[in-house]
Amino acid sequence: MATIVEIDDPADPRLADYRDLRDVELRKHLEADHGLFLAEGEKVVRRAVAAGFRPRSFLMAPRWLDGLATELSASDAPCFVLSEALIEQVTGFHVHRGALASLERLPLPSVESVVEGARSVLVLEDLVDHTNVGAVFRSGAAMGFDAVLLAPRCADPLYRRSIKVGMGAVFTMPWTRLPSWPDALTSLADLGFTTVALTLAPDAVPIEDAVAGLDRVALVLGSEGHGLSARWESTAARRAIIPMAAGIDSLNVAAASAVACYVTARR
């Protein structure tokens, strides 16, 4: 059973995991240094715990204790209980969904283990926006994709905003980081995947044709601003485009990934 710890000083050092949640740069360092991530909201906390992540601590206003009784009783982590006003002071914003938890990250699995048995995987190059990363995980999960692989510089799927937008898909979808960027796509080819890069390259074919009849597919998406790197564009086995109306140059990466996953799932 979690130990209930009532706190009335927002400067209490035991609250360090929960400070300044809107300060993205600070949070990135803090979470990497301590190997933690934050789950926000009763439903998300529940999903994180159910997915096997170990809580370091919980933080909530008194009225959220009952909703998370099962998770609290199964944990030996402290549960810090504060007024909503104090929570706002610590975190820097009004926590609508009341409950927060700080959880330990797990060691990242190998690429080989993540793609074992997978037929459809997503490969994200350098997405910078956590909202987009979460949206891609959610769409991939909805379309029955088996795994997600991230380039070394892609934004973090366990960042609070990614988790929220992803509706917990980042907990259930197997994923990992690619250990090396330059030869990532050729390594995937060695594992039996046809890499299909979404791009506006002149030799790109409609996505429906690009994936037709393929067995193992790795769908490759580039960053929001500049799309795929030249390296990945040229080392992908196929280049594909989502056909668009004349005069329109691109779709948002979250919309593009939803369409591409839908089409690929039906190949």
Q: What is the nearest approach in angstroms of its own copies to the Cβ of residue 17?
A: 28
By the rule CB under 8 A, 61 interacts with its own copies: no
By the rule CB under 8 A, 242 interacts with its own copies: yes
Q: Tell which one of 57, 139, 162, 235 touches its own copies (CB under 8 A).
A: 139
Q: Tell which one of 79, 185, 217, 258 touches its own copies (CB under 8 A).
A: 258
**32, amino acid identity:** A
Cβ contacts of 199 within 8 Å, gap of 6 or more: 222, 227, 228, 233, 236, 239, 240, 241
By the rule CB under 8 A, 248 interacts with its own copies: yes
Q: Tell which one of 138, 160, 164, 216 touches its own copies (CB under 8 A).
A: 138
By the rule CB under 8 A, 262 interacts with its own copies: yes
Spatial CA neighbour of 160 closest among 51, 17, 61, 4? 17
Q: Tell which one of 45, 122, 165, 178 touches its own copies (CB under 8 A).
A: 165
Q: Residue 181 or 262: which CB sits closer to its own copies?
A: 262
| Region 73-92 residues binding its own copies, contact defined as CB under 8 A | none
By the rule CB under 8 A, 162 interacts with its own copies: no
By the rule CB under 8 A, 97 interacts with its own copies: no
Q: Tell which one of 135, 154, 197, 237 touches its own copies (CB under 8 A).
A: 135
Does residue 207 contact residue 179 with C-beta atoms inside 8 Å? no
Q: Tell which one of 151, 171, 256, 264 touches its own copies (CB under 8 A).
A: 256
Round to whole Å and give the CA distance between 167 and 137.
9
Size of the site for its own copies (CB under 8 A): 23
By the rule CB under 8 A, 254 interacts with its own copies: yes
By the rule CB under 8 A, 191 interacts with its own copies: no
| Pairing of the two strands 55-60 and 78-81 | parallel
Find the helix packing angle between 130-142 and 253-265, rounded to 10°. Answer: 20
Q: Residue 7 or 254: which CB sits closer to its own copies?
A: 254
Q: What is the nearest approach in angstroms of its own copies to the Cβ of residue 256?
A: 8
Q: What is the nearest approach in angstroms of its own copies to the Cβ of residue 80?
A: 30
Q: What is the nearest approach in angstroms of its own copies to the Cβ of residue 225?
A: 13
Residues that bind its own copies (CB under 8 A): 135, 138-139, 141-144, 165, 242, 244-245, 248, 250-252, 254-259, 262-263
